[in-house]
Structures are given as structure tokens and as C-alpha cells.
Structure 1
Amino acid sequence: MTTSTFSAWMAVKQGDPAQVLQLKTDLQTPKKLPKGHVLVKVHAVALNPADYKLMRTLPSFIARRPCVIGMELSGVIVDSNGTEFNVGDKVFGTNAFPSGGTLAQYAVIPASRLAIRPPNLSAVEAAGLSIVTLTAQQSLANNLHIEPGQTVFVNGGSCSVGIAAIQICKSMGCKVVATASAKNKDFLLGLGVDEFLDYTEAPLVEQLLAKSPSPKYHGLFDAAGLTDPALYLNCEAYLAPGSAYLWGGTMPHSRKEWTELLRQLFEGFLRPRWLGGVGRKYTTPSLNFDKAHIEIVRDLAEKGAVKPVIDSVFSFDDVKQAFEKLMTKHAKGKVVVKISEDE
């Protein structure tokens, strides 16, 4: 049964989560839903770096504040509204920006953004499945064009997107070289990484140039993003001809990060090779959140090719603390907020 009112975390102005988030406890539960939408009782929500970066950077008139935040969730259908779902179906999915609005006890979501939760995942695990797996799968398939048996370099292997990329590559029989700090070496080797590089030991470019791979990598997935433009500028030395570098980081939020990104974009998209440009393709993810792609994510999870890694779980009352953990940039996997029990 639904309740007449519900609670949700809302951003009321532009700024950091600690200053702008408020828990509203008297929101009216919608009785009439838009066509093609369903009402979900939310079990858990995974936080994403874009959540706090958009809070910091977007003016309120663009973000339509005050607004409920959050982009992905797991939960149960309580109003199927004539869609293919049934009341009681356990689902997961995303309501990515600019819609948003998942960090609440109830959420109105397009049915096309949801799939039945894989039976081998808990509600907490499924909450963090959609966005990172969509990003990794589509980037590998559509941007880097990775094929079974090739060699892939993943920068930022311990972040959520990096973890998903590693798992998908290993399920394809690829060799994977990945980076992280030394404390995450055993974790990444446990995911099946064939070779580990500690980015704190020396600049990655120095390590890659000192030990040029043979054969060269068939794709470089920079899941960390914005860490060092030199990784792209020197990639001809370690990327095979015809392969590509993919920047998969989230939007910048500092002057230094913007400067690094703009330089990458200039070198990757604007400067031709005959004017000193890099002789390898530079690409960024082009994501599709439609039903077919959500179902691909579900299939990957159900067959065990991808298993979400959870860094930590916070209660609904502790959302600000959850953002604090996420903003350290040292979470190994997803930071999840548990909102209600998985009946």
C-alpha cells in the first residue's frame, strides 16, 4: 500500500550537498501518473558524482530547484499505470538528469528506464547497477569497439565505472591492465585484472613509456578522467593503430579540471595530426538509456558478467554523510542509500 504523503531529499539551491540538501517530509504521493510512467516504492538509491557536481555548478533556474535529487534506484512497482509491469514487480533502473528524483520514498519513473531486477542481486546491489554498467558496456562496444580476446587498459580501475568495465572485458576473454592505488591492488586482481599499475608509484605515462606493451592496447578506457592530459597526448606509444582513447570521467568542477579537459578536447577533436595532433582517436561516451539497453545491463548481471561492488550503505536519514563519503573520491564501488526494506 502507498501512503498519502512521502519524504524526499531535495536540493533547494545551488551549492554543496551539506548546505543545500533538505529532507522534505510532507510531499503528496501522486495519484495520476503521466502516460508510460510507473510509481515505484524505492528500496535503495546509489549516488553518483554527477549528483553533487550538478548541485554545485547548475544554476537553480536550469535545475528547476527545489527538486528531488538522485538518478538511479531499485524498488517495487506500486502503480503500473497500464505499462508492461505489474504491481509487485521488483525493478531497477535510472531516471537520469534532467529528470532525476529517485532519492525519495516514492518515485515516478518512465517504464522505459526500468527492468526487472535480476534474481541474483539484492536491492542494494541493483541500485548501483544501471548507470555505471550502461556507461561501461556502451563505451566498450560502441566507442572503443572492443572485441573478445583483445587487450584493454582501464585507468581508474577501482571506481564504479572502471569496475564494471573490467568485469565486462574479462567476460569477453580480454586481457585487462588496470590502474589504482596500491591499497586496491588485491581487489583488482580479484576481479581478474591481468596486470596492475600503481598510479601513485610514478606518473602513468612514465610507466607506460618505460614498458611499452606488446601487443599495444586495443583501447584505453579512462574511467578516472581529468587526471593527466599526458595520458592521451602520448598514447600513440601504447595504443595500437586504429584504436581509441575514451575519456569516461564525470563533469569537471574545478578550474584545473576544466583546463585539463579543454586541452584534451582541443587535442582530440580539433588539432589534425599534420599540425602535431595525436594520431589516435579521442572519444567520449554516447549513452542510450532506453529499454533495450537497460535489458542488456540486466542480462549481464543475471549471467554474472557484472556484479555491483558496494563500498558503503547509509540510512535515509544520513544522506549528507553518504555524499561526504562519495566526495572523498576514495569509494571503492558504489555508495548506496537504503530507503526501505526489500519486501
Structure 2
Amino acid sequence: MVSIPDVQRAWISVRRGKPTDSLVLKNDWPVPKELAKDEVLVKVQVAALNPIGFKLMRAMPNFIAKRPYVPENDFSGIVVDANGSKFSNGDNVYGWISVNQQPVTHQGVLAEYTKIPADNIVLRPPNVTPTQAAGITLAALASYQALFKVAQLEAGQTIFINGGSSSVGAFAIQLAKIKGAKVVASASAKNEEFVRKMGADEFIDYTKDPGVVAYLSKNPPSTKFHVIYDAVGLMSPDLYTHSKNYLAPNGIFVSTGPLPHKLNCDAIWQWIRTIGAIITPSWLGNVKSRWAMVNVDNNTNDMNELQGFLANGSLQPIVDSVFEFEDVLKAYERIMTYHAVGKVVVKVDPEAL
């Protein structure tokens, strides 16, 4: 029987702001031992950072964010109180606390222990390490649901993935290839080899003048894209508004959601432009292409299918960098550069592989 302490180390968001202003490391944060039906207690081994984590930290006022709370969503760990669920104590698992659940439960994964619904975790395949597993769920679910449930991507179709070197984009490339689709992906020139290794058939360097939109407008694909997947959450609507040049008439533009990198006048204006482009009807001159945003749902069947892809090796998790628990602020510095290739993860348990 594992001894579970009453208090733990945890990073806590105590105020709105960038991570250096928002977060404090506490050594006496309570361990959430009181479990509701179908909840389990997990000892966190490795946590992963996501852009949504620091964007909400910076944007959300206290009354919405329900501070103080433990931030971040993705993790790998060990079940220490199965609480009569389908799991057993000692099971190696990975999963996530959804963005919607966090304000309600105050639970996050930058802590030594977290309680979580049993449906939010799956068993970790033995060929995947805790460090690799930590950053799978949110990014992989986003791409799985965007490609297969929103866009209804089919074998033989062509998809353009904007941001192929991001964690969301890297999973999207692999999932599209598993489906049997042709993949065109964009990234910076230095990440071309990585993007092609993920499975991209064609590559576009977004850093070259005149950029992706102008390049695709001047060099439209011989077969127009059936799906455009914006894996980086562009604030500018230009990739969508010019899409008649490169998106099939019955195609669809899917976005992870326009979230600003910074809260300033330019970001607000770009957000207004994007919303305007989405809601303006075609009879007023807007493009006729469908626009959709993926809202990531916790779906056990989807998680189980992704688990199967990981177990058979057809889906590879990608880790950009690994930080110690005390160095969380440095980990945020890395992810906030927007140059991470794959996931930025934090070892909560220093002995985790």
C-alpha cells in the first residue's frame, strides 16, 4: 500500500499574468484525497505544457479562472487510489484534465498528485515512456477530432496542415497518413526534415517571402485541398479568406481556434477580422468555404484508438525538451517562443523516464 501524504509540492496560479507573475511554488498544497464516484487519485510523473495554459493564465481574470488553481492539463502518472474504478492501484496511465473541468475542480497537473475522472485516462503502452506519454492527450485528441470528426478526412484526399512542426501539427500529419491521405505541411525551413519525418508528402516554408497565403495563391495545388487544418490557431483570417484559390469547393477549413499570443491592439483587431470573416455570409462577398473550430472533447473511444496507434508504433509522440519541476518558469519560456518542435514537458517525479 502506497503511503499518500497530506500535502504536496505544486505550482499555483495566484493572479492573472504571464507565468513569471502568475505562478508560485508551494510546498504545502493539499493532496486531494476525497474522491467522488468514478474519480481516481494519480501520482503525477511528468506534466506537459500547452499554449492554452499560459494564454488563459495571462488572459483570465480571477473570478473566471477561479484562482488559486494548479495549471496545465496533460500528464502521465501512476494510479495510487483506484477508488473502485476500472483501474487498479499501480497502473501506469496518461491522460488529461480538460480545460472545462479545471475551473470547476481547481485540479491541474503541475503538482505531485491530482484527482481525475477515470474516463480521462488510459493505460500507458509499455513502448511509450512517461516522458513521451505526458504530452499526448490534448494535442492528439485535437488533431484526431479535427481530422476525423469535424473534417471527415478520407483516404485519398489531400490535406494542408499549417504548423506541421507544432505538437498538434505533428500528430495531425501522422494521423492523416494513418488514414491514407496526402499531406502538405508548412513550417520553417529548419524544421523541414522533422515535418517530412512525420510523414508530410510536400513541404512549404512559411518564413519565405511572400509567405504561405501568397505562395498558395500563386502556386495552387494541382488538386485542391479537401481539408485545411490550422494547427497553430492563426489570428489573421487571410489563410481562410483567400482559400478559394487552393481549397476544393466542398472542402473545409478547420482551426484549433484563434487565440492571441499577446493582448494588444493589433491582436484584438486581427481577432475582429477573423470573426468577421467567419460570420459574414457569402452573398456579402465572403468566401463560400466552410469554417469550423475543433472543440476538444474527452472521448474514451477516441483515446482508446489513439492508444492503439501508440501501442503498434504507427503514432509517435514527440518531445521537444524536458525540464525539472523547479524549472517550470524556464519551461514556459521555451514554449512561449513558439519554436518548440513537439512537446515541452516537466518531470514532476525526478526519477521518471
Q: Same fold (TM over 0.5)?
A: yes
Please show how residues 3-18 of structure 1 align to structure 2 within 5 Å. Answer: 3-18=5-20
Please show how residues 56-205 of structure 1 align to structure 2 within 5 Å. Answer: 56-98=58-100, 99=102, 100-202=107-209, 203-205=211-213
Q: Which letter does structure 2 place at the counterpart of 1:167?
A: Q
Q: Which letter does structure 2 place at the counterpart of 1:226?
A: L
| Contact 1:226-1:261 at 8 Å conserved across structures | no
How many percent of aligned residue pairs carry the same amino acid? 42
The 2-side partners of 1:182 and 1:63 are apart by: 38
The 2-side partners of 1:279 and 1:23 are apart by: 50
| Contact 2:72-2:108 at 8 Å conserved across structures | yes
Describe the superposition over 1:199-221 as per-residue Cα deviations: whole angstroms up to 9, x where unpaired. Answer: 11122111111111111111000
The 1-side partners of 2:317 and 2:187 are apart by: 18
Q: Which letter does structure 2 place at the counterpart of 1:275?
A: L
1:284 aligns with 2:286: no
Alignment RMSD: 1.5
The 2-side partners of 1:235 and 1:305 are apart by: 31
Q: Which letter does structure 2 place at the counterpart of 1:244?
A: I
Q: Which letter does structure 2 place at the counterpart of 1:239?
A: L
The 2-side partners of 1:145 and 1:265 are apart by: 24
Q: 2:330 aligns with which of 315, 321, 329?
A: 321
Q: 1:265 aligns with which of 255, 268, 275?
A: 275
Please show how residues 245-264 of structure 1 align to structure 2 within 5 Å. Answer: 245-249=253-257, 251-252=259-260, 253-255=262-264, 256-264=266-274
1:235 aligns with 2:243: yes
- Go from structure 1 to structure 2 and tell me whether the alpha carbon gap of 1:76 and 1:24 turns closer, same or farther (over 3 Å shift): same
The 1-side partners of 2:257 and 2:231 are apart by: 5
Q: Identify the residue that residue 309 of structure 1 maps to in structure 2.
A: 318
Q: Residue 187 of structure 1: CA displacement? A: 1.1
The gaps in structure 1 that reach 5 residues or longer are none
Q: Residue 123 of structure 1: CA displacement? A: 0.1
SS in 2 for 1:301: helix
SS in 1 for 2:191: helix
TM-score calculated relative to the size of structure 1:
0.96
Q: 1:213 aligns with which of 221, 225, 235?
A: 221
The 2-side partners of 1:83 and 1:192 are apart by: 38
Q: Residue 11 of structure 1: CA displacement? A: 0.7
Q: Residue 225 of structure 1: CA displacement? A: 2.3
Q: Residue 273 of structure 1: CA displacement? A: 1.3
- Go from structure 1 to structure 2 and tell me whether the alpha carbon gap of 1:29 and 1:45 turns closer, same or farther (over 3 Å shift): same
Q: Residue 53 of structure 1: CA displacement? A: 0.7
The 1-side partners of 2:294 and 2:33 are apart by: 37
Describe the superposition over 1:72-117 as per-residue Cα deviations: whole angstroms up to 9, x where unpaired. Answer: 1100000001111000000000102241411101111111111111
The 1-side partners of 2:117 and 2:152 are apart by: 30
Q: Residue 277 of structure 1: CA displacement? A: 1.0
The gaps in structure 2 that reach 5 residues or longer are none
Describe the superposition over 1:90-149 as per-residue Cα deviations: whole angstroms up to 9, x where unpaired. Answer: 000010224141110111111111111122210011000000000000000121111012
Q: Which letter does structure 2 place at the counterpart of 1:50?
A: I
The 2-side partners of 1:126 and 1:301 are apart by: 9
The 2-side partners of 1:30 and 1:329 are apart by: 33
Q: Which letter does structure 1 place at the counterpart of 2:336?
A: M
| Contact 2:235-2:271 at 8 Å conserved across structures | no
Q: Identify the residue that residue 294 of structure 1 maps to in structure 2.
A: 303
Please show how residues 2-41 of structure 1 align to structure 2 within 5 Å. Answer: 2-41=4-43
Q: Residue 293 of structure 1: CA displacement? A: 2.4
Q: Residue 249 of structure 1: CA displacement? A: 4.2
SS in 1 for 2:314: coil
Q: Which letter does structure 1 place at the counterpart of 2:237?
A: P
Q: Which letter does structure 2 place at the counterpart of 1:114?
A: I
Q: Which letter does structure 1 place at the counterpart of 2:338?
A: K
| Contact 1:167-1:191 at 8 Å conserved across structures | yes
Q: Residue 20 of structure 1: CA displacement? A: 1.8
